[in-house]
Amino acid sequence: MSPSRSRLVIAVALLAASTLAGGAFTAILFASPEREGPPLDEYADILTTLSEWSPQPIAPDQFVYASIHGMLARLDPHTAFLEPEDFSAMREKQQGSFFGLGIQIQKRMGRITVIAPMEGTPAYKLGIRAGDVITVSTDEVVRKLRGPKGSQVAITIRRAGIDEPLKMTITRAEIPTFSVRYAFMIAPDTGYLLLADFTHTSSRELKSAIERLEKQGMKRLLLDLRGNPGGVLDQSVDVADVFLEKGSKIVYTRGRTSSSAQDYLAPGDGLHFDRPLVVLVNRGSASASEIVAGAIQDHDRGLIVGQRTWGKGLVPRRGAGSREISAISWPT
C-alpha cells in the first residue's frame, strides 16, 4: 500500500473511531492552530508505519483502538473505551434483557456445553437440556446465541445416549437477565437475597423479592452484595431508598464542573423495609454496591459484614458513544 493511501486509510479509521468515541478525537482533529498539544501528524505517521510494517496484517481501526486503550490507561483504572461489540454487550446487560436463545453455556473439555436452559425461553421450550453439546466453535456459538428478536438460528447439538446429532431451528426472543439471582428463607424468620448487579430492573426485582419473602414470614434480611460490580447509579439510589427513611442523603457527587455537584436523597417511594438488616460485601463489591452499603452504614440502618470493598469512588461520564470517563467523585 502506498504511503498516501495508507494515510488515507488511517484518516478514515481515525474519523470512524472519533464517531464511536462520541467525538473524543474530533475536537483534536479540527482544533485551532493556536491550541497547544501533541501534533496529530506524528500520531498518524506512527499508525501508518505500524500498518505497513507490522508482521501480521491488522485493520487500521484496531491500531486506533489499541492507541485509545493505551492513552486511557494513563488515567484512573476506571476510565475506559469500549469497542463496538463490548459496548453493545454492556448496554444489553444494563437494560436487563437481550435477544437470544436462553441457554447458559460453558466450555468443557474443549466443547461448548449447555449448563442449563433458562425456564420459559425458546431453548427451554424446544427441549434443549443440560449437558447437550453445541457443535460449533466458541466464536460462532456467541454469534448464534444472540441476534435480532424474531430471527431464526439453526444449531446442531449432540446428546448423550443418542448417536445421531440433533438439528434444531430456534426463534430468538427477549431473554431477561435478572439482578436478583437468589431470594429465599434461610431460617423461619430470616430471608436471604443475592443482588448480582445494578441494571435498570434491579430495584423493581428487589422490591418484588422482599414482598415475596415477607409473605413467607421474613422479619430480618441478609442482603448479599458480594461480587456485585455495580452498574446504573440511579438504581443504587432506588435500592438504598428501600431501606432508608425518606429524605436521607444516599450519596452526593462532586466534579470539576458545577453541573457535577448533586445530592441524591431517598425519595421514599414505594416499598420500605425497616426490619433488621445485614449486608454482605467483599473485595468484588464496587461502585453502586458501595453506594448502597455506604448509605446503610452512614445512617446506621444495618450491619455491614465482610471484607474491604473495591473502593471505586468515581462516577463515569459516558459520551455519545463508547467512551466512559471517570469525571465525578462520590464521597461517602
Does residue 7 have a pLDDT over 60? Answer: no
Position 81 scores a pLDDT of 73
Q: Indicate whether 203 and 129 sit together in one domain.
A: no
Provide the domain count of the chain: 3
Does residue 134 have a pLDDT over 50? Answer: yes
Q: Indicate whether 168 and 188 sit together in one domain.
A: no
Residue 32 lies in a domain: yes
Residue 167 CB burial class (10 angstroms; 0-12, 13-18, ≥19): exposed
- Domain of 9 in residue numbering reads as 3-74
Q: Indicate whether 231 and 284 sit together in one domain.
A: yes
Whose grid coordinates read 463515569? 316
Q: What is the mean pLDDT of residues 291-306?
A: 96
Position 59 scores a pLDDT of 79
Does residue 278 have a pLDDT over 70? Answer: yes
pLDDT in tens, 145-188: 777 888 888 888 999 899 999 998 888 888 877 899 999 999 99
Q: Indicate whether 184 and 211 sit together in one domain.
A: yes
Helical packing angle, 288-298 and 233-243, nearest 10°? 30
Q: Indicate whether 111 and 163 sit together in one domain.
A: yes
The per-residue DSSP string of 180-192 comes to EEEEEEEETTEEE
* Enclosing H/E stretch for 263: strand 262-265
Set 144, 208, 249, 298: catalytic member:
298
Residue 149 lies in a domain: yes
Least confident of 19-28, 56-65, 131-140, 170-179: 19-28
Query: For this structure, is 298 an active site residue?
Result: yes
Residue 258 lies in a domain: yes
Q: Indicate whether 103 and 170 sit together in one domain.
A: yes
Does residue 318 have a pLDDT over 70? Answer: no
Q: What is the mean pLDDT of residues 41-67?
A: 80
Of the residues 116, 145, 176, which one is the last residue of a structural domain? 176
Q: Indicate whether 205 and 308 sit together in one domain.
A: yes
Does residue 25 have a pLDDT over 60? Answer: no
Residue 247 lies in a domain: yes
Q: Indicate whether 106 and 194 sit together in one domain.
A: no
Q: Indicate whether 156 and 22 sit together in one domain.
A: no
pLDDT in tens, 192-251: 999 988 988 999 999 999 999 999 999 999 999 998 888 888 999 999 999 999 999 999
Residue 55 lies in a domain: yes
Set 236, 312, 322, 326: catalytic member:
312
Give the cell for residue 7.
Answer: 494515510
Q: Taking the alpha carbons of 135, 141, 145, 148 in that order, is the dihedral positive or negative?
A: negative
Q: Indicate whether 269 and 296 sit together in one domain.
A: yes
Does residue 12 have a pLDDT over 70? Answer: no
Residue 15 lies in a domain: yes
Q: Would you say the pTM of this structure is higher than 0.75?
A: no
Residue 84 lies in a domain: no
Least confident of 97-101, 181-185, 224-228, 281-285: 97-101
Position 85 scores a pLDDT of 66
Query: For this structure, is 287 an active site residue?
Result: yes
Give the cell for residue 71.
Answer: 492513552
Q: How far apart are the first and last CA of the chain?
A: 56
Quick one: what percent of the chain has pLDDT higher than 90? 32
CA gap 214, 220 in Å, rounded: 9
Q: For residue 299, what is the domain's CATH number?
A: 3.90.226.10
Position 322 scores a pLDDT of 47
Position 243 scores a pLDDT of 98
Bridge partners of 106, per DSSP, are 113
Least confident of 51-55, 95-99, 145-149: 95-99
Bigger pLDDT: 62 or 141?
62
Of the residues 176, 207, 242, which one is the last residue of a structural domain? 176
Position 108 scores a pLDDT of 75
Position 153 scores a pLDDT of 84
65-to-7, 42, 46, 167 alpha-carbon distances in Å: 17, 17, 14, 39
Q: Indicate whether 35 and 154 sit together in one domain.
A: no
Least confident of 94-103, 155-164, 246-255, 282-291: 94-103
Residue 114 lies in a domain: yes
Q: What is the mean pLDDT of residues 302-310?
A: 94
Q: What is the mean pLDDT of residues 278-306?
A: 94
Q: Determine the 3-state secondary structure of 281 from DSSP.
A: strand
Position 142 scores a pLDDT of 63
Of the residues 176, 206, 223, which one is the last residue of a structural domain? 176
Does residue 20 have a pLDDT over 60? Answer: no
Residue 129 CB burial class (10 angstroms; 0-12, 13-18, ≥19): middle
Q: Indicate whether 222 and 280 sit together in one domain.
A: yes
Does residue 13 have a pLDDT over 90? Answer: no
pLDDT in tens, 57-96: 877 778 788 888 788 777 766 666 777 766 665 565 555 5
Q: For residue 108, what is the domain's CATH number?
A: 2.30.42.10
Set 287, 289, 322, 326: catalytic member:
287
Position 38 scores a pLDDT of 60
